[in-house]
Amino acid sequence: MAKPLMARATAVWLVDNTTISFKQIADFVGMHELEIQGIADGDVAAGVKGFDPIANNQLTQEEIEAAEKDPLHRITLKHNPASLGEEKRRGPRYTPLSKRQDRPNAILWLVKFHPELADSQIARLVGTTKPTILSIRERTHWNIANMQPIDPVALGLCKQSELDAAVQKAAAKKAREGDAMSDDERRKLLSTEQSLGMEAEPKIPTAIEGLETFSLAGDDEDEKPQQEYDADSFFNLPDGDGEDDEDETSR
């Protein structure tokens, strides 16, 4: 499906001048629905001037009215020979001069929150070079102290759909290389049934419960039962008066 010229500016105009749903606008201009919502909230495409698709012969007023009445209506681009080939471009991504200073912040965000992304993926997303990405990863970039991680989608450097596709691709690649991952990372990527079927990891006992059963049995066998005594046994001594009387009589 052909996309309109200046898709982002067209989306800005449709958000500001129509009641078409975000989903309809996203499908029409080839952007993610969250990006359209970001335009409406002022977080995306700030400062972008709207591009009137009616005045530029890309839409008709009847098409817009039909979309406003029916949320399920798919907006159809009016045939425009100049828009052919606009959807796909060859070569590296072009970044406007006004946004190039934001690329390091976007790279820092991707490195921090999506470490699974390869340098080549980050380079394609924000239109940068691998040496720049490496310097930010190793925190040797000349301006690293003043950089702040900012979502590249919010900066307008890439689409949310492109970021999601790159993250899913990186996660799938990491899952295929599961033997090289740690146990915790592998469990996160496996299904519940597979994770429960894995051998349990040895754990350090957290209590000494059961150690009392290991008594010194040898010492118990050698010990003999001790005679029990009570208080009366110490005071009821044998009577020795009779023997003393006999001794006195014999004298």
User: Per residue in 25-63, pLDDT tens?
Assistant: 999 888 898 989 888 888 887 778 888 888 888 888 999
Of 23, 6, 114, which Cα lies nearest the Cα of 73? Answer: 23
> Residue type at 31?
M
Q: Which of 117, 97, 108, 118 is nearest to 151 (CA)?
A: 108
Helix (H), strand (E) at residue 108: helix 103-113
Residue pLDDT, tens place only, 132-162: 999 999 999 999 999 999 999 888 888 888 8
Q: What is the pLDDT of residue 135?
A: 93
Residue 35 to residues 27, 42, 169, Cα–Cα distance (Å) = 11, 10, 21
pLDDT score for 131: 92
* 4, 56, 128, 162 from 87: Cα distances, Å: 8, 17, 21, 14
| CA–CA distance, 56 with 4 (Å, rounded to integer) | 10
pLDDT of residue 1: 54
Average pLDDT over residues 178-186: 52
Spell out the domain ranges in the chain.
7-83, 97-188
Question: ∠ at Cα 123 (118, 126), nearest 5°?
Answer: 125
- Specify the pLDDT at position 184: 54
Q: What is the pTM of this model?
A: 0.40
pLDDT tier at 80, thresholds 50, 70, 90: low
151-180 in b/e burial notation, b at 16+ Cβ within 10 A?
Answer: bbbbbbbbbbbbbeebbeebeeebeeeeee
List pLDDT tens digits, range 217-228: 444 445 555 555
Could you tell me the sign of the dihedral formed by the alpha carbons of 216, 217, 220, 222, in that order? Answer: negative
